[in-house]
């Protein structure tokens, strides 16, 4: 039987065909691996987003509690009438009495003034203006409700720059100090009162303290 030899062109063609098949296998394997990695990466991101969507919260908290500031920013303003403390000394109690005509009234707040000119009155905390009125005895009066059942009352105002329903930030100017018919000899002043859970408290005891410390 006569043996036939393959031509060189045929042999080369076979080699080239085998090489192309191997390259195709390698390319397919590499593409499959990349697709798998891409799918895995997308799944990971989806999983992380699901964690937050399911209500997982950051461990770090950034809540800031405000501290009480004075209702004015003029450094020359001072206390001219104290808060009446039932447990205080007699001399201090005498300085906390308001004399209106023939009536002596125990002061439920602090009277600030002592300077000739008027001065700006500011909100001591963030809050909501719940009342603005003009009283024949106390002058213009602004009431602001705050968190933690705290209410502040700013009396004897000459001018008012807020209205009922306004949301104010701590330090917002709400008006200017003026005079009242309660004690005319006080000149320009602010009668500032503060309540916690419906009871009058002495604000001088709580300046620079956080809301949660006010009781």
The predicted-structure confidence for 42-81, as pLDDT tens digits, reads as follows 444 444 444 444 554 444 444 468 999 999 999 999 999 9
Rounded percentage of the chain residues whose pLDDT exceeds 90: 50
Q: Indicate the residue among 58, 92, 107 that finishes a domain.
A: 58
Q: Which residues contact 172 (CB under 8 A, 6 or more apart)?
A: 122, 123, 162
**pLDDT for position 181:** 86
State pLDDT tens for residues 196-205. Answer: 999 999 999 9
Ordered DSSP codes for the chain: ----PPPHHHHHHHHHHHHHHHHHHHHHHHHHHHHHHHHHHHHHHHHHHHHHHTT---S-------B---S---TT-EEEE----TTS-HHHHHTTEEEETTEEEE-SEEEEE-SSS--EEE-SSSEEEEEEEEETTTEEEEEEEETTTEEEEEEEEEEE---TT-EE-TT-EEEEEB--SS-GGG-SBEEEEEEETTEE--GGGTTTSBGGG--
Q: Under a CB-based contact definition with an 8 Å cutoff, are residues 109 and 192 in contact?
A: yes
Residue 108 token pair? 């439920």
State whether 52 and 84 are in the same domain. Answer: no
User: pLDDT band at residue 141, thresholds of 50, 70 and 90?
Assistant: very high
Q: Are residues 46 and 88 in the same domain?
A: no
Nearest Cα to 150, choosing from 122, 174, 173, 124?
124
153 and 196 share a domain? yes
**Strand-strand pairing, 103-106 and 173-177:** unpaired
Same domain, 32 and 92: no
Residue for token pair 């992380």: 48
Model confidence, pTM: 0.69
Q: How confident is the model at residue 35 (pLDDT cuts 50, 70, 90)?
A: low
The domain that contains 178 carries what CATH number? 2.70.70.10
What are the contacts of 88-93 at 24+ separation with CB within 8 A? none
Claim to verify: residue 87 and residue 185 sit in the same structural domain: yes
Q: Tell me: do 122 and 48 sit in the same domain.
A: no
Residue 20 confidence (pLDDT): 66
Instruction: Please identify which residue in the block is written with the tokens 């500011």.
Output: 122
Whether residues 149 and 207 share a domain: the answer is yes
Number of domains in the chain: 2
Give the lowest-confidence range in 7-21, 28-42, 143-157: 28-42
Do 207 and 157 belong together in one domain? yes
Residue 29: which domain range? 1-58
How large is the average pLDDT for residues 132-156?
95
Enumerate the β-bridge partners of residue 10.
none
For the chain, report the end-to-end CA distance as a whole number of angstroms: 117
Residue 40: inside a domain: yes
- Tell me, yes or no, whether 66 lies in a domain: no
- Measured CA to CA, the distance from residue 50 to residue 58 in angstroms comes to 14
Do residue 97 and residue 192 come from a single domain?
yes
Q: Do 16 and 86 belong to one domain? A: no
Dmax over CA atoms of the chain, in Å, equals: 148
- State whether 82 and 53 are in the same domain: no
41 and 83: one domain? no
């Amino acid at each position: 039987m006569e043996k036939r030899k393959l031509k060189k062109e045929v042999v080369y063609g076979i080699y080239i065909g085998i090489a192309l098949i191997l390259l195709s296998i390698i390319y397919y394997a590499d593409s499959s691996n990349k697709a798998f990695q891409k799918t895995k990466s997308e799944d990971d991101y989806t999983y992380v987003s699901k964690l937050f969507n399911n209500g997982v919260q950051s461990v770090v908290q950034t809540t800031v509690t405000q501290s009480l500031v004075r209702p004015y920013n003029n450094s020359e303003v001072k206390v001219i009438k104290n808060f009446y403390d039932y447990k205080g000394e007699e001399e201090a109690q005498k300085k906390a009495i308001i004399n209106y005509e023939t009536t002596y009234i125990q002061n439920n707040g602090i009277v600030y003034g002592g300077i000739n000119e008027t001065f700006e009155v500011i909100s001591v905390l963030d809050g909501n203006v719940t009342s603005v009125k003009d009283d024949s005895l106390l002058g213009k009066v602004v009431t602001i409700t705050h968190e933690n059942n705290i209410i502040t009352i700013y009396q004897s105002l000459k001018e008012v720059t807020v209205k009922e329903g306004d949301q104010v930030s701590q330090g917002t100017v709400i008006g200017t100090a003026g005079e009242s018919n309660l004690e005319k000899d006080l000149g320009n002043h602010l009668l500032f009162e503060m309540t916690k859970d419906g009871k009058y408290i002495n604000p001088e005891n709580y300046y620079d303290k956080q809301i949660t410390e006010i009781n």
